[in-house]
Structure 1
Amino acid sequence: MEHQDLLAGFVRLHILHHAVKEDVYGQWMIEELGRHGYRMSAGTLYPMLHAMERRGYLTSTKTRAGRTFRRVYRATELGAEALELADGKLRELFREVVQET
């Protein structure tokens, strides 16, 4: 992903956005991010999900999916609060950018 260090924050917010509303899992998230122009490999996404869980933004459970198990993620209260804070900051930045163009 070009400009990975800059865009990684947007990817994390995108993950939180969905994880606040519903359970998400890695492959679905890769496909969802792809629909928005982010090309993510499992080797990039899964460490990001694990780090977000370690920091308390996500929680995960193992669920059965056919013959295999799938780890599903859901936003914690801290994750929802972080998303709300980021929403305000993004809106503020967007207004500033639009005014300057």
Structure 2
Amino acid sequence: MAIRIHVLHHAAAEPVYGLWLIEELGRHGYALSPGTLYPILRDLADGRYLRLERRLVDGRIRKYYWITARRRRALASARTQIIELMREVLEPQRQRPCAKMNRR
């Protein structure tokens, strides 16, 4: 799931293509092969999260992907959830209501 959100994040900023994503995500610690990334891109395009455009670049067809307007809103919602999760994970442990219950 994290890879998909990362792909959507980059595709929201500008059109992206597979090799660029492999290199960019590699800088963030993901070791992705084309055999891992391209099925994810295809699934995101099939699910209408991404739009696809084929462009001729240096004599070869390159597939560019960018986020759809509807999914841009979904990404904004996911960002809010990610921020909340990060706060919860990174804040010092405080006693939660469950922790107050007597354990047997």
TM-score of the superposed pair, with normalisation by structure 1: 0.88
SS in 1 for 2:87: helix
User: How many angstroms apart in 2 are the aligned matches of 1:85 and 1:98?
Assistant: 20
Q: 1:41 aligned to 16, 33, 51, which one?
A: 33
Aligned length: 93
Task: Give the % identical residues.
Answer: 43
Q: Quick check: 1:100 aligned with 2:97?
A: no
Structure 2 residue aligned with 1:84: 76
Give the number of the structure whose alpha-carbon radius of gyration is greater. 2
User: How many angstroms apart in 2 are the aligned matches of 1:88 and 1:61?
Assistant: 29
Corresponding letter in the other structure for 2:28: H
Deviations 1:13-49 (A, max 9, x none): 1111110110100000000000001000001100000
Structure 2 residue aligned with 1:64: 56
Question: Which ranges in structure 2 are unaligned for 5 or more consecutive residues?
Answer: 94-104
Structure 2 residue aligned with 1:52: 44
The alpha carbon displacement at 1:85 in A equals 0.9
The alpha carbon displacement at 1:75 in A equals 0.3
Structure 1 residue aligned with 2:99: none
Corresponding letter in the other structure for 1:74: W
SS in 2 for 1:74: strand
The alpha carbon displacement at 1:81 in A equals 1.4
Structure 2 residue aligned with 1:23: 15
Computed over aligned residues only, the root mean square deviation of the Cα atoms, in angstroms, reads 0.9
- Greater helix content: 1
Structure 1 residue aligned with 2:97: none
The alpha carbon displacement at 1:78 in A equals 2.3
Divergent runs of 4+, >6 A: none
Corresponding letter in the other structure for 1:29: L
SS in 2 for 1:69: strand
Deviations 1:52-74 (A, max 9, x none): 01111100010011111100001
